[in-house]
Amino acid sequence: MKITIIGTGYVGLVTGACLAEIGNDVFCLDVDQRKIDILNKGGVPIHEPGLQEMIARTRAAGRITFSTDVAASVAHGDVQFIAVGTPPDEDGSADLQYVLEAARNIGRTMNGFKVIVDKSTVPVGTAQRVRAVIDEELAKRGLAGSAQHRFSVVSNPEFLKEGAAVDDFMRPDRIVIGIDEDEPGVRAREMMKRLYAPFNRNHERTLYMDVRSAEFTKYAANAMLATRISFMNEMSNLADKVGADIEAVRRGIGSDPRIGYHFLYAGCGYGGSCFPKDVQALIRTASESGHNLRILEAVEEVNGRQKDVLVNKVTAKLGEDLRGRAFAVWGLAFKPNTDDMREAPSRRVIGELLARGANVRAYDPVAVTEARRVFAMDLEAAPEQLERLTFASTQDETLIGADALVIVTEWKEFKSPDFVHLKSVLKTPLIFDGRNLYELDAMTELGIDYHAIGRPYAQPSELPADA
C-alpha cells in the first residue's frame, strides 16, 4: 500500500519505518528541512533502539522516502497518517495547530479517495475538526460533495513506549481503530484492515470502535499508567515516614494478578512527552465539559512534588546551603533508552542543586547533547548557575571530587557499578538513589551511606574506607 506519514518525530518515524519494513511504500513528510536532511544523509534525529537500522534497510530497498514536498506527500498516500506534535497550550489543552494545518494541506491538494488517520494523541472531537477543515478546503476548490474527493477520518492512537517503540509497533498488544460506519468509513475500514493484516496473523489484535471512543482510549490509558506511578510515589513517601520498605511493598502487591508489577515502581517522578501532557489535556477536556477529574488533578500534583523528593533528601543530609559541594549525577533523559529531556526529573533535580550553590557534573549514555541544549534554555537567566554544570563522557568521570552521587535515570549500566572504585573516588561514600537500584543490605555491608525512595535508611557498617 502507498502510505504517507506527516511528521517525523517519535511516532511518525517509527510508524513510517515499521510500515515500510513490512512491505509498504512510505512517504515521510516534515516541514523541518533540518530533520529531512539528517534522514536523507542516513542519520536519525532521535535516539530509538533499532530505528536507524530499520530505516537504512527500508531506504536501501526503496520503500521509504523523506521530503518536505507537501503536494507530493498528499498525492502519494492512499492512507495519510497525521503524526505531528500536539504540545500543551498554556492552559494545559492540546495545541492542535499542526494537526489542523496537516488536514488543510490534504484538503488543498487531494485528488481521489483518502483515508486520513489521526495518529497523534489528540482530544476527543479532533477527528470532527479535521473533517471540517478538509471539507472547508474542498469547498474553496469548488469540490464540496464531489464523489471523487470523498474521504474518511480515522482515529488510530499509538501505544509506543519510548526506548521500545519499534518492538511495540512490530509486536502490538492491541491496535485501536476508531472509524465511522458510513460508506467512506466502510471503505476505510477495509483499507485499515489490509494495512494491519500482517500484525494479526497469529491472533486478532485490532479493536474497532467509534472515533470518539478511540480518541478517548489513548488518554485514558496514559492517565491510568500515570496514576499507578503517582500512587506508588505517594506510598513511598508514607513508607519513608513509617519505616516500611516500598520495594517489599511493591513485590507484595504486584504479586496480586489483579494489580501486577507494571508501572509500579517508586521514584523521583515521571516525565517525557506523553504522561504530563496527556494528563493535563484530559483534565482540561473534563473542565471544558463541566466536569472535574479529582484523581488526575491529584496525580499531576503528586508528580510535581515527587520531583523534589530527591533534593529534599540531599538537603536533609547536607543542609540547604550547598555552596562548595559537588555532585555527580547519573542519568539525564526522562527514562532509559531515549535522549528525550521533555519534563525529565533531572531538570528539576539539577536545577535545585545549582540554585543552592552546588557544582554538578552529569552523565547520560545518549542524552548529553540534548541536555546541553535544554539546560542552556532552562538556565538562560542564570548564567552563573550554568557555569557550575558540566557534562562528563563517562559515569566514572562524574565521581572525581564529588561529595555524593545522585541517580536520576535507571540506565542498565548504572545497576552494577564497581562500588569499591566508587567509594575510593567519592569524597564521602554517599548515594542518593532516585530509582531504588541497589539493595539495602549490600549498601550497609559496603559502608555506603545510601538514601533511596521510600526505603529505610541504610546505615553503613564500620568498615575500612577501602573495603
Q: Is there a binding annotation on residue 430?
A: no
Distance CA 397, CA 166 (A): 32
- Bridge partners of 175, per DSSP, are 206
Distance CA 455, CA 467 (A): 24
Q: Is there a binding annotation on residue 317?
A: no
Instruction: Round to the nearest angstrom and report the end-to-end CA distance of the chain.
Output: 64
3-state secondary structure of 446: helix
All three cell numbers of 8? 517525523
Which of 76, 112, 117, 114 shows the shortest CA–CA distance to 99? Answer: 117
Q: Is there a binding annotation on residue 159?
A: yes
Question: Annotated catalytic, 28?
Answer: no
Q: Is there a binding annotation on residue 86?
A: yes
Could you give the C-alpha distances from 94 to 31, 127, 279, in angstroms and in order?
Answer: 20, 14, 10
3-state secondary structure of 153: strand
Q: Is there a binding annotation on residue 265?
A: yes
Q: Is there a binding annotation on residue 121?
A: yes
Q: Is there a binding annotation on residue 48?
A: no
Q: In the sheet that 449-451 helps form, which strands lie side by side, from edge to edge?
A: 389-391, 359-363, 326-330, 404-407, 430-433, 449-451
Could you give the C-alpha distances from 415 to 9, 331, 346, in angstroms and in order?
Answer: 30, 12, 18
Q: Is there a binding annotation on residue 243?
A: no
Q: Is there a binding annotation on residue 41?
A: no
Could you give the C-alpha distances from 188 to 110, 180, 198, 329, 380, in angstroms and in order?
Answer: 16, 9, 17, 50, 49
Distance CA 228, CA 109 (A): 45
Distance CA 8, CA 46 (A): 10
Q: Is there a binding annotation on residue 335?
A: yes
Distance CA 343, CA 418 (A): 30
Distance CA 7, CA 16 (A): 10
Q: Is there a binding annotation on residue 264?
A: yes
Quote the crossing angle between the two packed helices 368-378 and 345-355, to the nearest 10°. Answer: 50
Distance CA 27, CA 248 (A): 50
Q: Is there a binding annotation on residue 277?
A: yes
Catalytic residue among 18, 28, 268, 274: 274
Q: Is there a binding annotation on residue 30?
A: yes
Q: Is there a binding annotation on residue 225?
A: no
Distance CA 53, CA 384 (A): 41
Q: DSSP letters of 207-222?
A: EEE-HHHHHHHHHHHH
Residues in the annotated binding site for NAD(+)? 30, 35, 86, 121, 162, 277, 342
Residue ranges at the known binding site: 30, 35, 86, 121, 159-162, 218, 263-267, 271, 277, 335, 342
Binding-site residues from annotation for substrate: 159-162, 218, 263-267, 271, 335
Report the catalytic residues: 274
